[in-house]
Structure 1
Amino acid sequence: MTARPPSSVILGAIGDDFTGAVELAGMLTAGGARTLLVTSVADIPSQLVAIDAVVMALRSRVAPASEALHEIGRAAAAFQALDVRQIFFKYCATFDSTDDGNIGNCAELLMAHTDARSVLFCPSFPEAGRTVYQGHHFVGDQLLENSPKRLDPLTPMTRSDLMAVLAPQTAKTVGLLPWATVQAGEAAVRAYAAARAAAGVPFLIVDALNENDLRAIAAATWDWPLMTGGSSVAAYFPAQWRANGLVADNPAPRPERIRGAAAVLAGSCADRTREQIDAFAQNHPMLTLDLKADEDATIAAALSWAHRIGPSVPICIASSSGPEAVAEVQARFGVIAAGRRAERLLGKIAIGLVDLGVRRFLVAGGETSGAVIQALGISQLRVAPYAGLGVGRCMADHPSRLSFCLKSGKLGDIDMFARVLTEMGDEA
């Protein structure tokens, strides 16, 4: 294979929320890929040297379909200007979406941008207990429709058949790439996808039960113009790049640590996040925001509370609520407006906390993470190698040197908040 020019990028990845984008960047980094994470299309450099992958963190998952398509299209155009070899569209391992999108519609747009003939959809994440068999999605030993995801306030997942989930989102015909074909290996996957595309079925939900399945899927698709899935399948791309002479065997960097006060900002309403908040609150100051109150007064009160606590102990400020409280706020403001109200509050509070000296943030929730990063005006992040479920470590240099753990709402062990904030701190 011809050696790759030093200024070219192999992979341009689009994450549909911030925690997912950080997770993906962390997995690529752990695999030895030199990875840059950016937070807007405008922040993708026109030329890059010594970068193997660029991950673009969007907030398209729960955006109105027209807004999501606009942002996905801009990201695709920017990656095409970089002449990337492949675009990868990363979404949640539980395929979080609605009949309006934003997976099938965005994949259809990306297919048009890349002239791809086949598109696989591979959300399986065996490490987290997310698997697909016969096109049906499982969370552990539960069908998706029976799992807590059925109660998600923004993307309630009430169907386990992912072909049925995807079909309303796209004009393309949706089929299945079965487990038996995955088991047969790379050549079988390529041949099956090509045959189904020729028969008018370009979109395929792919079965995957374990890491060997993901490895085979990655081997079959690493050189396609377009691939979609969870971060766990893309984690196997760097090994393919090395095997094909595209990258050197680079060591993964060590996570950076930083001094300064620490805070948890929690916007996710997932059961696991609320359990983590309760565990943290047993030994740390905790404040729950009233989303129905005046925004300016709520922000001022939260920052006054944080100032009184002082920098010596980590704090938690949360808008997270149970299903009944969420439903009440959504009924008053609307589903999307209620979520964005919470995100706006936590973003503005984050700005005030930086002014108070907070330098370590653990942010719970994908949409909340995006809101906080954008509110702080952060355009690029250095992502630490992936270390485990729910722990996406990264660093920013502007507006101050800040350390983040951006956590998916439904992942991470119950006691992780205090432990991770300590791990982010300077050893000195």
Structure 2
Amino acid sequence: MNIAIIGTYPPRQCGIATFTQDLFKSLHQDPTLAPAIIAISDGSEDFFPSEVYTSIEKNKRASYMQAARHINETFDAVIVQHEYGIFGGEAGDYILDFVRALAIPVVTNFHTVLQQPSAAELRVLQQLSAYSKNVTVMTDTAVNMLQDIYHIAPRKIELIPHGVPHFSYRQSEAKQELGLSGKRVMLSFGFLGPSKGFETAIEAVASVPNEDFIYIILGSTHPNILREAGESYREYLQTKAQDLGIGDKVCFVNEFASEELLTQYLSACDIYVTPYPNENQISSGTLSFAIGAGAAVVSTPYWYAKDLLKDDRGLLFDFKDSVALSLIIRALLDEPQLLAKYRQNAVRYGASMSWSNIGKLQSKLLRRLITKEATVPVTLPLNGVHHHINNLLHTSSQKLSS
């Protein structure tokens, strides 16, 4: 079965591109599936790897229609990775032209479900759901929001968690390779930008007295922010750390977190923190990866974190509350058994979210849809049935009279 996966794709540096690549690899493990990529391009990519069947120019409506025609001739099903900003048009509505033109089953994976969508955002998500055989989301909260806010039928919605990579490093080995031996490490990673709340974490670190403790912020500045404001946010954070007297405890690694680099840093860390300042985030690859790596995860209570960290899989502190975060960090550092408890809980749950398991869930859904599509009988409306029978009778009568 030929499967087209629509989304951004490396060398594009964004979370959806990484997710799309990981999904491709996981589906490629199924010998009954032949996945390929339809890459959404903003023109920044110099090349695409061989698994990219074709690309769609983000802001050219005709490019979507041209791709749909080719896909109808070659593929059996399509998986759309949906994030409003990666598609052209108002609230990314060019993707609607694309799915409307498809004659094969569509599954749409929603990476963002907004609690208060604009009229255009509401329309796009509802229409995309209408054109999809199934939609998938990553948390129970997202399932409920699709039903309550967007009025999507429960039968259409599938819950498939965010996948996490395989972590092959031992912590001692990872720390040694990164020059962190003898250090207790707290990590955050992802694109730098004011919406990430890193200043709260830095303020918390100022109240952590442990000499062997270090906080690492791994990631390059978001490309959009870099174009508009340069490195001003990174410089603000660095100045803040210096002013608080903890310049030696806060380390910035200004590098895009490739999967290999990321698994190394996550394997080395003891504590992982996401200090996001707003609750309306329905998925987070960074938090999923940290659970998969077996870190003791600490987070503000945004939607995805509350779902993922329940049942003692992690710890929550209130938005912008650096005092509460510092108390949690100190407790984890001072009580080895507490730290071990949260790390073990994360490892156990993370195993269920491995990309190999997530790929099996996606494969099962795709096979079910394609099989169902192939076995559904051709039906006609009632007046069409009468018309069809009359045509048969008329043809038979002409043959008898000739």
The normalised TM-score by structure 1 is 0.33
The normalised TM-score by structure 2 is 0.35
Larger Rg: 2
The structure in which a higher percent of residues are helix is 2
Higher relative contact order (CA 8 A, sep 6+): 1
